[in-house]
Homo-oligomer: A and B are copies of this chain.
Amino acid sequence: MPRFPETTSTLDAVGGAVFSSLAGRLARHRGTVYPLHVGDTWLEPAEGCRMQDLTIDEHPGMHRYSSPQGLPGLIDAVVERSRKRMGVTTERSSVLIAAGATGALGAVVGSIVEPGDEVLVLAPYWPLITGIVRCVHGEPVAVPFLGEVDSAESAVEAVQGRLSSKTVALYLSTPNNPTGKVFPASWVDALVDWAVSIGLWVVSDEVYEDYVYRGEHAYARSRAPQQAFSVHSFSKAFGMAGNRCGYVVGPESVMAALKKVSTHAFYSTPTASQLAALRALDGRGDAWVEAIRPRYQALGDAAAERLEVPAPEGGTFLFVDTRDRLDERGLIGFLQDCAGRGLFLAPGPSFGDYPSHVRICFTCAEPDVVKAGVDVLADMLSR
């Protein structure tokens, strides 16, 4: 019982923002900044899909609440997209529009995790997922995965090894943040089959589905629509992260529970953001993606080459091991030295047990800024 002036002890284990430890330095920095720690894009959304395009003449009442499930037109568009992409039956009642993929994942986790329950989280992982589990008093259990696993069989062995009687769900993200790994379909299928066979929920974070450069994205929900949640983001797809609009498609039987959680977390998704997403889904967003994807890939490939790491298979990140350049100060010293040169990086420990890794986003700023920042990092790594 956290009586005044204490707060709930569960939060002690929850990190602040990914980057909080270096935020002060960033605010004080004079000179050029290379903010490669941010996961975002330097581009504006497609024309016609910006806030300035949404008028009260065309959308009277557009500053009023929408339904907590989402705007009917947007739900319909998501249903159509999901059917087409995932190849499985999808009804309107399987869709929840949410405050970004973050809000969607919060609704999923809040619906299936009780205090003390464990969620298997494939590492390295998107940093907020562990805090999302902890905020409802669940326990994230990291599964060392990428870099450890090289086949469907070893993927299943990895998760099996961390299973306990308290496990209720498996979380994966592909294309992966932070590594840029695109899970082969055989891995996704094997993991989903395993989860289904022992009655675990599957929570599949697929916000970078549109940014695959090598291989092909596999939808967990295609394999088990009755048991898998598929989480998506207009933020990542269409360059509108600040709009806070994403969605989850899941088993009809539990979507009422998800809507309860989301209603109490943020009530409804911003109406204007949903209207912008709906415009993007009319073809303008996909055209934007088609035009942008090769640019993202070229940026990722160039950054990878400069840093002497494998090219990304998807997404907008590289995860780089700095082990051979750390001194007795460890990673924090390296990050501080980088910050001294204006280069800001996301620290590996935010993504799991990665004491010497850093994550960079190669789409976070104008390409010349990213290139210059990558040059600084390469120099710091003597590469």
A294 to chain B, nearest CB (A): 21
For A31, the chain B residues whose CB sits under 8 A away are none
Residue of B5, B10, B44, B106 touching A251 (CB-CB under 8 A): B5
Number of chain A interface residues as a range: 35 or more
A21 to chain B, nearest CB (A): 13
Bitwise, A109-145 to B at CB < 8 A (1) or not (0) is 0111111110000000000100110011100000000
A117-B65 in contact (CB<8A): no
Residue of B41, B100, B271, B272 touching A64 (CB-CB under 8 A): B41
B41-A267 in contact (CB<8A): no
Q: Once the chains are docked, how many angstroms separate the CA of A272 from the CA of B51?
A: 7
A5 to chain B, nearest CB (A): 6
Q: Once the chains are docked, how many angstroms separate the CA of A199 from the CA of B10?
A: 20
Q: Once the chains are docked, how many angstroms separate the CA of A103 from the CA of B50?
A: 24
Residue of B52, B63, B67, B266 touching A55 (CB-CB under 8 A): B52
A11 interface contact, C-beta 8 A: yes
For A329, the chain B residues whose CB sits under 8 A away are none
Say whether, besides A135-B265, A261-B11, A56 and B52 are in contact (CB < 8 Å). Answer: yes
A146 interface contact, C-beta 8 A: no
Q: Which of A325-378 contact B (CB under 8 A)?
A: none
Q: Which of A240-290 contact B (CB under 8 A)?
A: 240-244, 251, 253-254, 256-257, 259-261, 263-273
For A40, the chain B residues whose CB sits under 8 A away are 64-65
Residue of B9, B15, B265 touching A265 (CB-CB under 8 A): B265
For A261, the chain B residues whose CB sits under 8 A away are 11, 135
A351 to chain B, nearest CB (A): 16
A111 to chain B, nearest CB (A): 5
A77 interface contact, C-beta 8 A: no
Say whether, besides A52-B54, A263-B131, A265-B135, A2 and B63 are in contact (CB < 8 Å). Answer: no
A85 interface contact, C-beta 8 A: no
Residue of B3, B52, B54, B111 touching A7 (CB-CB under 8 A): B111
For A53, the chain B residues whose CB sits under 8 A away are 52
Q: Which of A20-58 contact B (CB under 8 A)?
A: 38, 40-42, 44-45, 50-56
A166 interface contact, C-beta 8 A: yes
Q: Can you name 14 extra interface pairs (CB under 8 A) apart from A99-B99, A136-B136?
A: A4-B112, A8-B112, A11-B110, A14-B264, A41-B64, A50-B55, A52-B52, A65-B241, A99-B267, A103-B267, A128-B263, A244-B269, A265-B266, A270-B273
The chain A residues found within 8 Å of chain B, CB to CB, are 1-5, 7-11, 14-17, 38, 40-42, 44-45, 50-56, 60-68, 99-100, 102-103, 106, 110-117, 128, 131-132, 135-137, 166, 168, 199-201, 226-227, 239-244, 251, 253-254, 256-257, 259-261, 263-273
